[in-house]
């Protein structure tokens, strides 16, 4: 076949293409092998580099770690009394800790140690081992923080086995106090020290510094926030009302820590955004816990069959407990700024055609109604109806004061509070009128005038005055042992009696003296001044 023929050219071209393709594959294989050898060489060099650098970082880390006893001594000296004493209020951190204390931990680490740590960190970062450096640093600082926390817990008073087992008042108080005090030291002292140490170790390497700081601080902060929610949930699930109100201490501690946390980790740092999201989530979870407490409070009122009281049996403890609990919850919501949480709670109708309002408001008012009904039922158990009315008025006055107090804190939320106040006032006025009729109508009836016959009227007035003296004396003897706690309410009741009794008694005595002349003094046991003085002694508990 002619070499110049088309067929020959095609064959030769095909052969040449096969040769070129084979050579190209061989070249690619060579390049791949060279790349692999280069990568392997670089990997070996990297391993060699990190093998040379890491021991230096580890050595400097170990030097600082061996200095932990100095840091722990500083913690003991500056915070030992605060952590150990049960007399110091856990919320009053700033009042019991000196200004120097905030730098006590970082000052306990010698500057030369920090400079050496910085030198080793720089070598790691400049060699490109950012991830390895951050991992090693965060493990080191996490262990140090763990040792500080373990020591702080040994300083705090410990509960006995029985107290821990029964989870009573002492248990909750201890748990909340321990969490608050440790959290204060962590947020106000340990974490600022960690931030300072991290800044001095990493200097201009912002990205690596933020990563290391996040790995050290974030787990500890999340643990603090989770503990706040844990305590709130435990209190919400408890079956005793005295535990419910303690949730406000958790809220106040949480609220006090927030500015410190935000100043430590401001935006737009990645850690700042993460922590802000955690804070928002924690606030929502705390809000849910308080709503759960309101539900528990309703159940508790419904199931409370025995009415305990104090101040001579005329002050229902249930009113005191329930309203104090509501007051604490309202204060907690206000302090921690949970209005935004409430905005997420759907608005509902109260079923009476009024404008929609928050379910919190409806639940709040329902608790007031349940409480009033419960106290009213108990008031009917008194043998003397007048005593039952005083019992009711004591309760209503305290409820009214607490409603007003709650409304002042949450006026935009408790939309129905005015209605609750008006209804409570109306019931109180009715109870006052019922008390007056029950206690004093019969006595007042003795001061009415006779039928006009002078002879009959003299005997009639003598007999009525004698009965009045006996009954008035007995009423004052008994009711002076009763107790009305609120001074203004005590004054209102006394003035109501004076308005009807003093004029009637004055008119009766005036006519009695006119009819009997000088002989009237033999029958008059009480002057107007005496009547007023005895009325003034009513409802003071015999004091």
Using CB atoms within 10 A of its CB, is residue 401 exposed (0-12), middle (13-18) or buried (19+)?
A: middle
Q: If you search the block for the tokens 């006519």, which residue do you land on?
A: 511
> Which residues, 6+ apart, have CB-to-CB distance to 505 below 8 Å?
447, 468, 526, 528, 531
What does pTM read for this prediction?
Answer: 0.70
Domain 446-536 has CATH 3.40.605.10: no
Instruction: Please report the pLDDT score of residue 34 as a whole number.
Output: 46
- Number of Cα atoms under 13 Å in the Cβ half of residue 76: 11
Instruction: Answer for the pair 80, 101: CB distance below 8 angstroms, yes or no.
Output: no
- Determine the Cα–Cα distance for residues 320 and 305; give it in Å rounded to an integer: 16
Q: At what angle do helices 169-185 and 206-237 cross, to 10 degrees?
A: 170
Which stretches of the chain score pLDDT less than 70? Answer: 1-49, 87-91, 96, 99, 159-169, 267-270, 304-313, 335-359, 410-419, 450-455, 542-543
- Determine the Cα–Cα distance for residues 303 and 239; give it in Å rounded to an integer: 11
- Taking Cα atoms as reference points, which of 118, 132, 148, 121 lies closest to residue 220? 148
Instruction: Please report the pLDDT score of residue 363 as a whole number.
Output: 81
Instruction: Please report the pLDDT score of residue 527 as a whole number.
Output: 93
SS3 content of the chain, % helix, strand, coil (to 5): 80, 0, 20
Q: At what angle do helices 169-185 and 68-84 cross, to 10 degrees?
A: 140
- Determine the Cα–Cα distance for residues 367 and 345; give it in Å rounded to an integer: 18
> Could you say which DSSP state residue 483 is in?
B
Instruction: Answer for the pair 348, 359: CB distance below 8 angstroms, yes or no.
Output: yes
Instruction: Please report the pLDDT score of residue 75 as a whole number.
Output: 87
Coil vs helix vs strand at 347: strand
Distances (CA, A) of 346 to 1, 56, 285, 343, 425: 94, 60, 16, 7, 30
Coil vs helix vs strand at 525: coil
Instruction: Please report the pLDDT score of residue 290 as a whole number.
Output: 79
């Amino acid at each position: 076949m002619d070499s110049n023929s088309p067929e020959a050219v095609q064959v030769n071209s095909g052969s040449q293409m096969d040769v070129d393709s084979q050579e190209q594959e061989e070249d690619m294989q060579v390049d791949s092998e060279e790349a692999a050898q280069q990568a392997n060489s670089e990997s070996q060099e990297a391993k060699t580099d990190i093998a040379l650098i890491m021991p230096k970082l580890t050595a400097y880390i170990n030097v600082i770690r061996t200095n932990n006893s100095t840091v722990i001594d500083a913690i003991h000296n500056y915070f030992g009394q605060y952590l150990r004493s049960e007399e110091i209020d856990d919320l009053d951190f700033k009042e019991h800790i000196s200004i120097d204390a905030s730098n006590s931990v970082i000052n306990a680490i010698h500057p030369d140690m920090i400079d050496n740590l910085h030198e080793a960190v720089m070598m790691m970062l400049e060699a490109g081992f950012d991830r390895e450096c951050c991992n090693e640093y965060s493990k080191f600082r996490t262990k140090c923080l763990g040792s500080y926390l373990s020591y702080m817990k040994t300083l705090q008073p410990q509960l006995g086995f029985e107290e821990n087992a029964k989870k009573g008042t002492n248990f909750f108080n201890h748990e909340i106090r321990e969490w608050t005090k440790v959290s204060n030291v962590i947020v106000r002292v340990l974490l600022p020290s960690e931030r300072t140490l991290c800044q001095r170790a990493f200097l201009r390497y912002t990205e690596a510094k933020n990563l290391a700081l996040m790995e050290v601080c974030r787990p500890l902060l999340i643990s603090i926030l989770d503990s706040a929610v844990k305590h709130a949930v435990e209190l919400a699930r408890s079956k005793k009302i005295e535990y419910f109100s303690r949730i406000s201490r958790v809220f106040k501690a949480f609220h006090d820590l927030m500015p410190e946390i935000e100043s430590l980790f401001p935006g737009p740092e990645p850690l700042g955004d993460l922590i802000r999201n955690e804070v928002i989530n924690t606030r929502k979870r705390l809000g849910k816990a308080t709503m759960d407490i309101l539900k528990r409070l309703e159940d508790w009122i419904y199931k409370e069959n025995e009415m305990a009281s104090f101040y001579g049996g005329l002050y229902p403890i249930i009113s005191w407990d329930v309203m104090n609990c509501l007051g604490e919850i309202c204060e907690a919501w206000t302090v921690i700024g949970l209005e935004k949480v409430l905005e997420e709670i759907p608005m509902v109708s109260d079923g009476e055609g009024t404008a929609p309002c928050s379910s919190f408001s409806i639940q709040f008012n329902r608790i007031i109604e349940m409480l009033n009904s419960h106290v009213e039922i108990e008031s009917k158990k008194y043998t003397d109806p007048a005593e039952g009315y005083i019992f009711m008025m004591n309760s209503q006055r305290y409820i009214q004061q607490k409603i007003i107090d709650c409304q002042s804190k949450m006026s935009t939320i408790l939309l129905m509070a005015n209605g609750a106040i008006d209804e409570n006032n109306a019931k109180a006025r009715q109870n006052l009128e019922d008390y007056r009729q029950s206690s004093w109508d019969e006595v007042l009836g003795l001061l009415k005038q006779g039928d006009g016959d002078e002879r009959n009227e003299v005997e009639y007035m003598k007999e009525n005055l004698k009965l009045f003296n006996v009954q008035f004396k007995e009423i004052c003897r008994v009711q002076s042992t009763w107790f009305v706690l609120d001074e203004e309410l005590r004054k209102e009741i006394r003035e109501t009696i004076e308005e009807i009794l003093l004029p009637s008694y004055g008119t009766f005595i005036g006519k009695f003296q006119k009819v009997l002349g000088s002989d009237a003094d033999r029958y008059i046991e009480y002057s107007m001044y005496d009547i007023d003085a005895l009325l003034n002694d009513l409802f003071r508990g015999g004091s």
